[in-house]
Structure 1
Amino acid sequence: MSNLFSAITIKDVELKNRIVMSPMCMYSCYNRDGKITPFHITHLTSRAVGQVGLVMTEAIAVMPEGRISPEDLGIWNDEHVAGLKELNEQIHAYGAKSATQLAHAGRKAVLDSAIYAPSALPFNDSSDTPVEMTEEAIQKTIEAFKNGARRAKEAGFDIIELHGAHGYLINQFLSPLTNKRTDKYGGSKENRYRFLSEIIETVQTEWNGPLFVRISTDEYHDEGNTLEDFIYFAKEMKNQGIDLIDCSSGGVVPAKINSYPGYQLPRCQKIKYETGIATGAVGLITSGLQAEEIIQNERADLVFIGRSLLRNPYWAKCAADELGYSINPPVQYKRGWS
């Protein structure tokens, strides 16, 4: 029996295995309208065919100015729902569950228009300086996350993840490196958490399904949030009903990161055991054996696979073969997989 291929139920959603397609930007909305294209449907559905348990879209912007690039997917308009609904019908047809990652890029947006952040600090010397958000702008953005959740529900997603990692807007509010505000959204860790807290509260008025949050558990800077700060944030999220924390790292400020297989796991595991919340492991997880070890040793509850799934849509099949585990193929592929 493989733990990696065991089912898990999160709220009322059952995943057939612990493998998640990690959200990855595809920069493929060539009309710059945020709408699903044939590429997105082929790209994401093929991973469902490949037997990934949960297929997650790229970061999907809740506001036009929240896109990382002009070619990113959007969910800021009701016109986006039809394409996303078609995508979900395709993913579900192959036995996978679907998720979307609601996001706002903040100061890391690369657009031909104004960009926004908690404080007027550019990401680096070549980046535009963002406009410091007023409290009115903050409330408008929180409302946009709520509307994004409503549209995600209408489109048929099973799970929503809030993107609070990699130096994007939620992360910018959480971090003392990027949040220099002196109002109720800045200063103490309690105040820096307020923006995410209010997003969670308003999203939950529209969404009662599983809700994940991705965070950067290491900011790679001496003056950034500590692991203890992230444990505090995780406890607060658990108290608010968040079901799982997707534990990534970096992206808040420019930094040289020493990456190696499993390099983000110790903090993921620490958060899981210190808070009792379910966690997702991500970062250079490349083999079935490695993923099995993570799940079997209860270091995380799900494994998020990124680049390996770009290289091979049938990564789950290869992982099963490596572990000597037999998975049920799509009926069309039985002759090749048996």
Structure 2
Amino acid sequence: SAQLPLHVWLPDAMEGPTPVSALIHAATMVAAGVYMLARVSFLVAGAESAAHVIALIGGVTALLAALMATQQNDIKRVLAYSTLSQLGYMIMAQGIHGGSDAGMFHLYTHAWFKALLFLGSGAVIFACHHEQDIWKMGGLRQKMPVTFWTFLIGTAALIAVPGTSGFWSKEAILEAAHEHNKLVWTLGIAVAFLTPFYMTRLFVVAFLGKPRTDHADHAHEVGPIMWVPLAILAVMAVISAYITGPLEAKGGEGVGHFHLSLTAILSLAGLVAGVLGGWKLYAGRDRDPICIPLFARKFYLDELYLGIVRLFQDFLGMTLDALDRYLIEPLTVRLPALAAMSTGYVLRLFQVGNLQAYAFLFALGAVVLIWLVVF
């Protein structure tokens, strides 16, 4: 499930067709780790230290991925890092006592609105002639009204606006964290602010304002074959938490029963602050007013991994070169050459150039051969 430090594959997995990305990031590949931990939750519950490590990894992944998302310009890459962050929430829940069900509940609700957002981004990319840079979009609200409203609903669910499915599942995780692990709860509250911030940034830059390029200016609404699935997923992004079925006793039992706790207050405050901050910073902008290379370059983790790989490659290369120079070459090249030279030198001793000596040696050899045959 792409948790630190093994997360680097997931953002690159969105390079394929958008429907494939929607499946991968919503309900298939990335769900495997969360589901596996949920199935062995009884084992995790019996190992307190392991549970703390799992929760901490999830919390740190959620926070760092959210920070990375704040500086991404590719619309699908922003959503990919949001997937990383939400997976961090789910993994965090698996390490909290009593939080496993809440994590699975969030996995269920997340599948709907994340599939909606990825398919919505695909519609935007298609309409903008395969442009993925949000700073080369703008003004799509008028050009693509259906995509605009469905993407807005998906964004609302992702940032946990009250009443949407994402609100109930995220609150269930944070409430469980508040009861049993204050450190990861703090990380979760921070993510509750960052998620509205970077999604407001994406939404405002891509859909509002004026078109920044000809491709955005000539964008048009996609056909029914593309917007009908968006409409269906938009409905489910709102109501999926209310039709949990078997999940009713597996994390979704609190749906429809809201209590104004400390977690809820801070979470809602983070939501409002994130949306207002994103709107204030990015509304009407033609370029990003914030430049944080550390976040844009993903905390330089890719460079770190490449550096480690290069060190290993250099060490391996030096080792193989030494083996070739001092073991393989002497044994397979120099030793046979020396043997051939020595054999030639010995044989050359018999090549004296004297006909009488050759006749004598021939006769001697014939006698020895006859003796061996007869006796």
Bigger RCO of structures 1 and 2 (CA < 8 A, at least 6 apart) = 2
TM-score over 0.5 for the alignment? no
Structure with bigger gyration radius: 2
Structure with more strand by fraction: 1
Structure with more helix by fraction: 2
TM-score (norm 1): 0.31
